[in-house]
């Protein structure tokens, strides 16, 4: 059972001012979650969370998280600009990109961001692009092969395929990159890696940390460089299905601490700072897409048509992802009707749910689609001329703030040349 952070009466009042569909975020939930994360890694004095801007590139959310001590993980020019305009600059930005144009490296350097190099060829490319090598630099590692965690407390395996990913350097390449960067003037080095996505396991981060800690100790011995930070990136997931257990960030932080003390401290590296880049974990559960049932169709299946579509939330159409749905005001009714919940795009995959058991839905009912606070609005698009919805923030005092207005047809036409 997933419980919305707003009531039916609240949503009806909000919808009277801001018509559906809209995304709404829970300020209190986001702040409390950021504080739990910071507490879990408080044992590491240099710890910093770099929120993945791609997950929710909305200034109000970036500023909120920055107030809670988070920086920004950026991967493009526009994300760098958003961060700068939010007053987030310098080493509060981690610039992790791939296939990077020179002008984006130049922008990152101008802002004083920590640059994370994705490939060995970027060592020389970076120097040509900005005229020097920064004193503080990071390289992204890809161990190759298939990453498996084995049985977890939830009783299933975590498995991903780094060897099939376009990101990062091989073991030999990162050693060469460190050696060359050192010769070119770099003084402080970091390691970054991402092995698996949306893991529901308290064991994933400690396992990743141990891999990177061992690599750091080896690279220090081989190259003699000063490794000052290790970025564990993202991958800590959220339970999209109500029966799935949530990660315990306190347990995760303790597991990383044990690996740190067992690997880095004996290697004389007990001063290494840890960074994370959590997007989905930070904001995902604290966002809802709110939509209204406007049509019903009875053919070979039962369909409920809503006023949102895949342009508002792409994940179900793109990945077949599950997002829980609450029919507001009917939370306690039996889920005895089987529906496909569909949008209005000219694509048959424009469905938020397929064969979903829900209470009887009447026209005008409000539906909350859960866990859209990350990779929800941010993956929106304008197919069929659909317009992006508004974004709202439910403040800690219960008031609602418009943090991004809905697009208008004039916004859609603005870039056209007639």
Catalytic positions are 346
Separation CA 108–CA 214 (nearest Å): 29
Residues 328 and 289 sit within 8 Å (Cβ to Cβ): no
Number of Cβ within a 10 Å radius of residue 106: 15
Question: 21: cis peptide before it, omega within 30°?
Answer: yes
Q: Which long-range contacts (CB under 8 A, 24 or more apart) does 382-388 make?
A: 382/311, 382/412, 383/310, 383/311, 383/345, 383/347, 384/309, 384/311, 384/344, 384/345, 384/346, 385/412, 386/309, 386/311, 386/312, 386/345, 387/411, 387/412, 388/311, 388/312
Number of Cβ within a 10 Å radius of residue 123: 22
- For CA atoms 268, 273, 276, 277, the dihedral sign is negative
Dig out the tokens for 272 from the structure. 């290494």
- Give SS3 for 209: helix
| Residue-by-residue DSSP string for 35-99 | HHHHHHTTTSTT-EEEEEGGG---HHHHHHHHHTT-EEEE-SHHHHHHHHHTT--GGGEEEE-SS
């Amino acid at each position: 059972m997933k419980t919305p952070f707003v009531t039916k009466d609240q949503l009806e009042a909000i919808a009277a001012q801001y018509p559906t569909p809209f995304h709404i975020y829970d300020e209190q939930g986001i702040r409390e979650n950021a504080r739990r994360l910071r507490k879990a890694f408080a044992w590491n004095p240099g710890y910093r969370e770099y929120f993945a801007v791609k997950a929710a590139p909305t200034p109000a959310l970036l500023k909120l998280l920055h107030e809670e001590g988070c920086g920004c993980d950026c991967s493009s020019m526009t994300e760098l600009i958003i961060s700068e305009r939010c007053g987030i600059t310098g080493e509060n930005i981690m610039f992790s990109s791939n296939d990077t144009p020179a002008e984006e490296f130049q922008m990152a350097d101008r802002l004083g961001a920590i640059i994370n190099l994705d490939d060995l060829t970027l060592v020389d490319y970076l120097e040509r692009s900005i005229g020097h090598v920064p004193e503080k630099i990071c390289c992204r590692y890809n161990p190759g092969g298939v990453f498996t965690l084995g049985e977890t407390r939830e009783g299933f395996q975590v498995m991903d395929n780094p060897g099939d990913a376009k990101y990062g350097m091989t073991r030999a390449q990162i050693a060469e990159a460190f050696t060359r960067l050192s010769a070119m003037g770099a003084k402080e080095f970091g390691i970054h890696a991402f092995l698996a996505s949306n893991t529901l396991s308290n064991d994933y981060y400690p396992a990743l940390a141990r891999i990177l800690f061992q690599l750091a100790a080896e690279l220090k011995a081989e190259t003699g460089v000063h490794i000052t930070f290790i970025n564990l990136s993202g991958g800590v997931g959220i339970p999209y299905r109500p029966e799935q257990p949530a990660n315990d960030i306190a347990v995760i932080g303790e597991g990383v601490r044990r690996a740190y003390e067992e690997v880095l401290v004996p290697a004389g590296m007990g001063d290494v700072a840890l960074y994370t880049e959590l997007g989905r974990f930070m904001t995902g559960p604290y966002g809802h897409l709110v939509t209204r049932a406007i049509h019903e169709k009875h053919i070979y299946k039962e369909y409920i048509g809503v006023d949102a579509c895949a342009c508002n939330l792409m994940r179900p159409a793109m990945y077949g992802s599950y997002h829980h749905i609450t029919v507001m005001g009917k939370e306690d009714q039996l889920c005895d009707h089987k529906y496909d919940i569909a949008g209005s795009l000219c694509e048959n995959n424009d469905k938020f749910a397929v064969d979903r058991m829900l209470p009887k839905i009447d026209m005008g009912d409000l539906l909350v689609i859960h866990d859209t606070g990350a990779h929800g609005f941010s993956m929106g698009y304008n197919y069929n001329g659909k317009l992006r919805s508004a974004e709202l923030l439910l403040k800690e005092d219960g008031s609602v703030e418009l943090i991004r207005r809905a697009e208008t047809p004039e916004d859609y036409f603005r870039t056209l040349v007639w």
